[in-house]
């Protein structure tokens, strides 16, 4: 399963610094000038999960394999991007390819870091990006609306599409994003082919200075208030500190560094976990002496679909699933003990996999 979260924001807000901190398979150039990033950088990120560590302590496998998420570092957008300013068409096209947006916003003062928009104003910065995405979506909606209006004279389906597209057009003209429009799953089919930028779920990163990394500051608080209005989450973090932690190879060095800054874990862990949930993803585990492995599925998937993530044959020939709730596995300490205490269940094709399930599949092809 390949799902991507794209890092966006104005130039010089710390996007590439964040990407370098979060990605364990690629590095992006981070410099103090406009459009340092042009081609999007793509990296794989291990999703931190304490449950894996606990399962490994009990099972003692030969290896541990975490699940991963793709993170894309997209070049900085500028005012006028929807009209092509600053290579805007190219960069907006990059955003269209991702499944969720991580919007990095500058919440610190530093005269040495270039800024084109005047005084630090995170709410204004957020609105600049929102407006550019909304304008690009409005352009796409209007084009389809024109086509659908012509077809609506003879096609009932097109007539229904016109009503939905008109709702979207009005919403965007009011400066609102499509993700905030209360459309049903069936109604969203009418705009699915447009891959609208403002329909994608969003998570905000308030990039603060070292002094504000635990408490936040007036800038991050203003951003949090604005994000709350649209039901979005804000992660407060100092990207420079996170990048320094990520560069350290020895776990002992990382722990000493975090202790110095009174950190129990990197803020990146919260960011990755939040991005994972933003994509409506769940994790199930397989646990044996060879390996403890985490597998990514969409929330609400049934057992055969979950089995198919391991191998298509598992889904095609699915018979049953052996399921142990994570809490039961930890409580009883082993698969055998769970079986002896009646905590191992046999589930069929209609079973909806729960986040944290420990599973084995029976199949025949």
Pair (191, 224) in one structural domain: no
Pair (236, 339) in one structural domain: no
Pair (153, 224) in one structural domain: no
The token pair that represents 239 in the structure block: 């990207």
In a domain, 288, yes or no: no
Q: Residue 126 and residue 131: Cα distance in Å, rounded?
A: 9
Total domains in the fold of the chain: 3
pLDDT tens digit at each of 365 positions of the chain: 668 999 998 888 888 889 888 875 444 333 333 444 456 788 888 999 999 999 999 999 999 999 989 898 887 666 665 565 544 456 677 888 899 999 999 999 988 777 777 789 999 999 999 998 999 999 999 999 999 998 988 888 888 899 999 999 999 999 999 999 989 988 999 999 999 999 999 999 999 999 999 999 999 999 999 999 999 999 999 999 999 998 888 999 999 999 999 999 999 999 999 999 999 999 999 999 999 999 999 999 999 999 999 999 999 999 999 999 999 999 999 999 999 999 999 999 999 999 999 999 999 98
Pair (230, 354) in one structural domain: no
Pair (109, 255) in one structural domain: yes
Is 67 known to sit in a ligand binding site? no
Q: How far is CA 59 from CA 31, 52, 90, 356, in A?
A: 45, 10, 48, 16
In a domain, 137, yes or no: yes
Task: Please state, as a whole number, how many other Cβ atoms lie within 10 Å of the Cβ of residue 348.
Answer: 12
- CATH number for the domain spanning 187: value is 1.10.150.300
Is 14 known to sit in a ligand binding site? yes
Supply angle C-alpha 53, 55, 59, rounded to 5: 120
Range of the domain at 234: 4-51+64-117+202-277
Domain boundary among 145, 168, 198: 198
Is 12 known to sit in a ligand binding site? yes
Q: Residue 2 and residue 25: Cα distance in Å, rounded?
A: 15
- CATH number for the domain spanning 347: value is 3.10.20.30
Domain boundary among 155, 178, 198: 198
Is 308 known to sit in a ligand binding site? no
Domain boundary among 245, 277, 309: 277
Pair (10, 137) in one structural domain: no
Pair (142, 17) in one structural domain: no
188 and 211 in contact (C-beta within 8 Å)? no
């Amino acid at each position: 399963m390949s799902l991507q979260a794209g890092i966006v924001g104005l130039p010089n807000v710390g996007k590439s610094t964040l990407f370098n901190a979060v990605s364990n398979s690629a590095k992006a150039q981070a410099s103090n000038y406009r459009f340092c990033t042009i081609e999007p950088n793509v990296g794989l990120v291990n999703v931190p999960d304490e449950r894996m560590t606990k399962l490994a302590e009990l099972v003692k496998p030969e290896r541990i394999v975490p699940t991963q998420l793709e993170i894309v570092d997209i070049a900085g957008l500028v005012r006028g991007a929807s009209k092509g300013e600053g290579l805007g068409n190219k960069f907006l096209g990059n955003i269209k390819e991702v499944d969720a947006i991580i919007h990095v916003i500058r919440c610190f003062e530093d005269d040495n870091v270039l800024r084109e928009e005047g005084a630090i104003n995170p709410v204004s910065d957020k609105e600049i990006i929102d407006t550019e995405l909304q304008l690009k979506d409005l352009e796409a909606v209007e084009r389809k609306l024109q086509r659908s209006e012509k077809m609506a004279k003879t096609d009932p389906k097109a007539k229904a599409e016109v009503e939905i597209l008109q709702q979207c057009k009005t919403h965007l003209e009011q400066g609102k994003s499509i993700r905030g429009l209360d459309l049903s799953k069936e109604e969203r089919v009418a705009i699915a082919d447009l891959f609208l930028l403002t329909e994608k779920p969003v998570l905000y990163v308030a990039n603060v200075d070292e002094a504000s990394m635990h408490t936040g500051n007036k800038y991050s608080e203003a951003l949090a208030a604005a994000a709350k209005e649209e039901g979005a989450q804000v992660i407060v973090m100092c990207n420079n500190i996170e990048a320094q932690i990520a560069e350290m190879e020895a776990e002992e060095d990382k722990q000493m560094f975090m202790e110095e800054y009174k950190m129990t874990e990197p803020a990146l862990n919260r960011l990755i976990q939040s991005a994972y949930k933003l994509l409506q993803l769940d994790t199930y585990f397989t646990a044996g002496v060879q390996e403890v492995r985490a597998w990514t599925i969409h929330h609400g998937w049934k057992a055969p679909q979950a089995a198919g993530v391991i191998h298509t044959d598992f889904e095609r020939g699915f018979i049953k699933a052996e399921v142990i709730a994570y809490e039961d596995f930890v409580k009883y300490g082993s698969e055998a003990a769970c079986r002896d205490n009646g905590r191992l269940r046999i589930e069929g094709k209609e079973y909806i996999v729960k986040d944290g399930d420990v599973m084995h599949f029976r199949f025949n092809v």
